[in-house]
Amino acid sequence: MITYTYIGHGKFELIEKPIPKLQDSRDAIVRITLSSICTSDLHIKNGSVPRAIPGITVGHEMVGVVEKVGSDVTCVKPSDRVTINVETFCGKCFFCKHGYVNNCIDPHGGWALGCRIDGGQAEYVRVPYADQGLNRIPETVSDEQALFVGDILATGFWAARISEIKPEDTILIIGAGPTGICTLLCAMLHSPKRIIVCEKSPERIQFVRKHYPNILITEPENCKEFVSRHSDHKGADVVLEVAGSDESFRLAWECARPNAIVTIVALYDKPQYLPLPDMYGKNLTFKTGGVDGCDCEEILHLIQEGKIDTTPLITHRFELKDIAKAYHIFENRLDRVIKVAIENKPRF
Ligand SMILES: [Zn+2]
Ligand SMILES: [Zn+2]
């Protein structure tokens, strides 16, 4: 089968590999129908994910059809259409039982697919702990509708869930990239009084204006003043930081009102500075990042009910054989790209 493989620093290549086999009674083999490219794939390519293993197939956002299951798999069966979770987790340890699946103590747990074990920019993938890692897609939900459930949508859902959003709240979301938009969609489910999005890219601002006309938009330079003017207590009640720069981190706490919740969804490439003397008396609650991707079933129901729709994010479509072109566009943010879908045409 063809796979898009991490060769070494700066280099991914399409190479042939054997179709994966079951290695454990809790594994499943899934035939991938649709996958996507995530910013984390670019982090692997650029060498900023030290635990990524050269030689692995990349890709951790994908949906497909179950081909085979091990003897201990009970939740899915061959021919089920499924979403695949970016996180591998055992479902049995202390952290899993409390829903903190990101902290599963299993040595194979965490972000394994497309990082430490072969991922989904391929024709097939082996999914460990298939009962936890796979969720059946309802019949009325398409592959494209379900594509982001296991990764960026799970992230947005988790971020909105832990942010304790109330109906009277003004929410500030910093960053309107793909994860920022997913966070926005999930924050909207909590029906806060108003949502402000802070974004600097004109293309992304235009995307938010077009698809979510009720959302207020500001740019980073005016963000603090804008949020103060458009909130009831001179600052956001909840801030979700999804941009991941020094500037956006500073804005996150500066734009929060006293006693606000600041949820850090973003991943930074260096440590951030917490100027506690300047924050003294603001009594902020920080919640830090690392998605607990254990709500996929609920997310799929919300998609089925029409309450979440991420399909507008898919701006480009490619076949697996042309994935290098897709990377080029995604990596360089060409042609107003938000997300790409990589289609696998079945071989007969
Ligand atoms: Zn990802
Ligand atoms: Zn666990």
pLDDT tens-digit map of 307-324: 999 999 999 999 999 999
With cut-offs at 50, 70 and 90, classify the pLDDT of residue 269: confident
Number of domains, the chain: 2
Structure confidence at residue 323 (pLDDT):
98
Output the pLDDT for position 103: 95
For residue 132, report the distance from its CA to the centre of ligand 2, in Å: 10
pLDDT band at 71 (very low <50, low <70, confident <90, very high): very high
Residue 118 lies in a domain: yes
Are 182 and 103 found together in one domain?
Answer: no
Predicted pLDDT of residue 289: 86
Residues 112-156 have pLDDT tens digits of 999 999 999 999 999 999 999 999 999 999 999 999 999 999 999
pLDDT tens-place string over residues 45-63: 998 899 999 999 999 999 9
Q: Are 2 and 31 in contact (CB under 8 A)?
A: no
**Whether 138 and 162 share a structural domain:** no
Strand locations in 141-192, DSSP E? 170-174
CATH number, domain with residue 131: 3.90.180.10
Q: State pTM to two decimals.
A: 0.96
Whether 50 and 86 map to the same domain: the answer is: yes
Round the average pLDDT of the chain to a whole number and report it. 96
d(CA 132, CA 205): 36
179 & 256 share domain = yes
Are residues 324 and 282 located together in one domain of the fold?
no
Helix axes 178-189, 202-211, angle to 10 degrees: 30
Q: What percentage of residues in the chain have a pLDDT greater than 90? A: 95
Q: Could you tell me the CATH number of the domain that includes residue 176?
A: 3.40.50.720
- pLDDT over threshold 70, residue 272: yes
Angle at 309 between CA 134 and CA 329, to 5 degrees: 85
Residue 348 lies in a domain: no
Ligand 2: centre distance to CA 222 (Å): 43
**For residue range 233-249, what is the model confidence (pLDDT) as tens digits?**
999 999 999 999 999 99
261, 227: one domain: yes
Position 348 pLDDT exceeds 70: no
Choose one of 259, 288, 317: the last residue of a domain.
288
At 252-267, the pLDDT tens digits run 999 999 999 999 999 8
Tell how far the Cα of 131 is from the centroid of ligand 2, in angstroms: 12
**Ligand 2 midpoint to CA 153 (Å):** 21
Q: Are residues 306 and 274 in the same domain?
A: no
121: CA distance to ligand 2 center in Å?
A: 26
pLDDT confidence band for 270 (50 / 70 / 90) = confident
pLDDT of residue 258: 97
In this structure, are 31 and 160 located in the same domain?
A: no
Task: Tell me, in angstroms, the distance from the centre of ligand 2 to residue 87's CA.
Answer: 11
Decide: helix, strand or coil at residue 317.
strand
What is the distance in angstroms between the CA of the first residue and the CA of the last residue of the chain? Answer: 13
- Taking residues 161-171, report their average pLDDT: 98
In whole angstroms, give the CA distance from residue 144 to residue 77: 21
**In 10 A of CB 63, how many CB atoms?**
29
126 and 90 share a domain? Answer: yes
Closest-lying ligand to the alpha carbon of 179? Answer: 1
Structural tokens at position 348 = 């007969």
Considering the domain architecture, whether residues 41 and 63 belong to the same structural domain is answered as: yes
pLDDT tens-place string over residues 92-116:
999 999 999 999 999 999 999 999 9
Q: What is the mean pLDDT of residues 260-282?
A: 93
Q: What separation in Å is there between the alpha carbon of 217 and the centre of ligand 2? A: 40
**Residue 345 — pLDDT band, cuts 50, 70, 90?**
confident
Instruction: Tell me which residue of 329, 36, 39 sits closest to 177, measured CA to CA.
Output: 39
Q: Report the separation in Å between the CA atom of 156 and the middle of ligand 1, taken as the mean of its atom positions.
A: 12
pLDDT at 65: 98
* pLDDT beyond 80 at 347: no
User: Do 203 and 330 fall into the same domain?
Assistant: no
Same domain, 9 and 140: yes
Distances (CA, A) of 122 to 28, 184, 196, 266, 316: 15, 30, 38, 27, 18
Q: Say if 163 falls within a structural domain.
A: yes
What value does the mean pLDDT take over residues 285-298? 94
Question: Within the chain, how many helices (H) and strands (E) appear?
Answer: 12, 17
Is 80 exceeded by the pLDDT of residue 346? no
Domain range enclosing 253? 154-288
Q: What is the mean pLDDT of residues 87-91?
A: 96
Q: How far is the CA of 259 from the centre of ligand 2 (A)?
A: 33
Report the percentage of the chain scoring pLDDT > 70.
99
Looking at residue 220, the DSSP 8-state letter turns out to be G
**Is residue 21's pLDDT more than 80?**
yes
Task: Please state, in angstroms and rounded to a whole number, the distance separating the CA atoms of residues 294 and 209.
Answer: 31
Q: How far is the CA of 23 from the centre of ligand 1 (A)?
A: 25
Residue 250 CB partners (closer than 8 Å, separation 6+): none
Q: What is the mean pLDDT of residues 224-231?
A: 98
Tokens found for residue 157:
């859902």
